[in-house]
């Protein structure tokens, strides 16, 4: 592998923005964040056939992904889901290659003991649903989580509610059933983004942590200096997006309790 210097932490946003202008996609949206959040660029790419064809023409999955990644793709039985997974993974590595100034085949992801993809010199997070892929990039001083969810059906909203914090469940009852699908999806996208940033995923009980009111996200008091934000865009109206960024220094002292054990 060619030896390259890691990007300067304060230039990762600039590198990612530059990458967004060169990545071979027909459509790519960047969220405009407030204040200091601007150094955490979040991008949304539609999972459309045109976008996939453009990306795969420039970076064919068979030559862009590692053998383990291709094997993972082969385990996904539904072809459309498999294409979405391949699209999101190739898109992620295309961004990372630009940020690190390497070729896409030189980008090798590592995984934490709990399975979170990692790189030494920067942090990132990836989420994809049927229609979109979401990505966020930042310096190694952050642990990041992003999540995008299509607004669920009333039946799905009802099935998700028991997995939320009791105070979140009470808010949903007070808010009524009319807006339940939107409200539940928003709370759940926050939950997913938060658990990704923690690095635990759903190994930690989603109901354990209260993450604010329906209108206003909030992190547990122990995670000082962190960011939890609901993201909105005028062209993305039937989905909910959440970003969580936790300072690595604070996270090291946060007690991670799991469903079956503590770490």
Per-residue pLDDT for 117 more than 70? yes
Per-residue pLDDT for 122 more than 70? yes
CB 122 within 8 A of CB 11: no
Q: Per-residue pLDDT tens for 56-71?
A: 999 999 999 999 999 9
Least confident of 33-42, 45-54, 89-98: 33-42
Residue 150's closest CA among 233, 44, 238?
Answer: 238
| φ, ψ (nearest 5 deg) of residue 5 | -75, 145
pLDDT at 34: 57
Say what the pTM is. 0.89
pLDDT at 192: 98
pLDDT at 249: 86
Q: Give mean pLDDT, residues 219-241.
A: 91
Could you give the CA distance from residue 142 to residue 199 in angstroms, rounded to a whole number? 12
**DSSP annotation string for 189-222:** HHHHHHHHHHT-GGGS-GGG---B-SSSB---TT
Per-residue pLDDT for 1 more than 50? no
Average pLDDT over the chain reads 89
Residues whose CB falls within 8 Å of the CB of residue 146, separated by 6 or more in sequence, listed in order: 42, 125, 126, 127, 134, 135, 136, 193, 196, 241, 242, 243, 244
CB 182 within 8 A of CB 157: no
pLDDT range class, residue 27, cuts 50, 70, 90: confident
Exposed / middle / buried, residue 72 (Cβ in 10 Å: 0-12, 13-18, 19+): middle
Q: Looking at the domain that runs over 28-250, which CATH code has it been given?
A: 3.90.470.20
Could you give the CA distance from residue 146 to residue 163 in angstroms, rounded to a whole number? 19
pLDDT at 167: 98
Residues whose CB falls within 8 Å of the CB of residue 157, separated by 6 or more in sequence, listed in order: 180, 181, 183, 184, 185
pLDDT range class, residue 220, cuts 50, 70, 90: very high
CB 99 within 8 A of CB 122: yes
């Amino acid at each position: 592998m060619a030896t390259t210097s890691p990007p300067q932490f304060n230039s990762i946003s600039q590198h990612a923005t530059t990458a967004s202008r060169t990545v071979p996609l027909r459509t790519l949206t960047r969220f405009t964040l407030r204040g200091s959040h601007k150094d955490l660029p979040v991008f949304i790419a539609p999972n459309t056939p045109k976008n996939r064809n453009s990306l795969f023409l420039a970076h064919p999955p068979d030559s862009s992904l590692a053998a383990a990644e291709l094997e993972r793709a082969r385990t996904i039985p539904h072809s459309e889901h498999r294409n979405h997974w391949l699209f999101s993974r190739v898109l992620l590595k295309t961004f990372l290659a630009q940020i690190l100034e390497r070729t896409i085949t030189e980008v090798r992801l590592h995984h934490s003991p709990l399975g979170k993809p990692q790189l030494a010199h920067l942090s990132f997070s990836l989420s994809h649903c049927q229609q979109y892929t979401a990505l966020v990039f930042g310096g190694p001083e952050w642990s990041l989580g992003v999540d995008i969810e299509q607004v669920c059906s009333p039946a799905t909203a009802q099935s998700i509610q028991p997995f939320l914090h009791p105070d979140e469940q009470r808010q949903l009852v007070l808010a009524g059933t009319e807006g339940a699908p939107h409200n539940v999806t928003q709370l759940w996208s926050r939950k997913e983004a938060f658990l990704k940033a923690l690095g635990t995923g759903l190994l930690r009980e989603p109901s354990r942590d209260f993450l604010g009111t329906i209108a206003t996200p909030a992190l547990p008091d122990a995670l000082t200096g962190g960011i939890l934000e609901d993201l909105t865009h005028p062209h993305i109206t039937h989905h909910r997006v959440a970003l969580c960024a936790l300072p690595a220094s604070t996270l090291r002292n946060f007690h991670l309790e799991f469903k079956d054990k503590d770490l």
